[in-house]
Amino acid sequence: MRLTKKRVVLFLLFIFPLICFLILSTGKNNFTKLPVVSENIMDISSLDSIETLKDHISVVCFLGNNIAENKAGFFNLNEKIYKKFIAYNKFQIIAIYPQDKEVQAREMKKEIGAFTDMIKWKFIAGSEEQINALHASFKSKETLYNLYSFRAFLVDRKGNLRGRINDKDSKEGTLFGYNIESVSELNSKMKDDVLVLFYEYYAAFKDKNKNKADRKEVGL
């Protein structure tokens, strides 16, 4: 079979990533887990009694007081991260906005929803004090500007903030959140880290089931 340019492109886009995943999935704990950069962050149930971060893989973002001005980053987040993981179990994006910005938040949700199923976008209102307290619990070196952050934060199922501890582009090497205004950072860092976190849970689930099967086999 002649190796055409089209076949090479198809291999690089579809077959090669699948081979890499299969190689990873055959090993036991042979991958690097995504570091915890802050433990036990404030749960969003303090803002909305119905919603929670626990038992979910969550991306938390802060819309701020000028939602219309900052919406480009949230469209980036929707295109590069949300659409990639919408089919994954227990994935969600939490969008925090000030209580008096309901109309702007609803308008942005409508605009994003023109291209997307919004079932896993959760828009949650909070007071200035609640929003600042939630962000402060991440223990990031940065502060909110007008209740807005250009960073999105990745929270695991136990309510811990995940990120990077040896990131060459971050001050002191720790990456607490991902720049939603940078498509390249969403593609090269955040997408990979969300995948690592999902695979971490997949590997733990597989090992747990294997241990159960082994115990059953020996009569324990």
Question: 67-92, pLDDT tens digit by residue?
Answer: 999 999 999 999 999 999 999 989 99
Read off the pLDDT of residues 140-167 as tens digits, 9 standing for 90 and up: 989 999 999 999 999 999 999 999 999 9
**pLDDT for residue 213 is more than 80:** no
Higher pLDDT, 207 or 96: 96
Q: How confident is the model at residue 32 (pLDDT cuts 50, 70, 90)?
A: confident
* Helical (H) or strand (E) element with 178: strand 178-179
Between the CA atoms of 22, 89, 73 and 38, what dihedral angle is there, to the nearest 10 degrees?
A: -90
pLDDT single digits (tens) 166-187: 999 987 899 999 999 999 999 9
Domain 31-215 adopts which CATH fold? Glutaredoxin (3.40.30)
b/e map of 63-100 (b: 16 or more CB within 10 Å)? bbbebeebbebbebbbebbbebbbeeeebbbbbbbbee
The predicted model gives 126-145 an average pLDDT of 95
Q: Average pLDDT, whole number, for the chain?
A: 86
pLDDT of residue 211 exceeding 50, the answer is no
pTM metric for this prediction: 0.81
Percentage with pLDDT > 70 across the chain: 79
- How large is the average pLDDT for residues 31-48? 91
Each residue's pLDDT tens digit, 185-197: 999 999 999 999 9
Give burial (CB, 10 Å; 0-12/13-18/19+) of 116: middle
pLDDT of residue 16: 54
Answer whether 124's CB lies under 8 Å from 47's CB: yes
The domains of the chain are located at 31-215
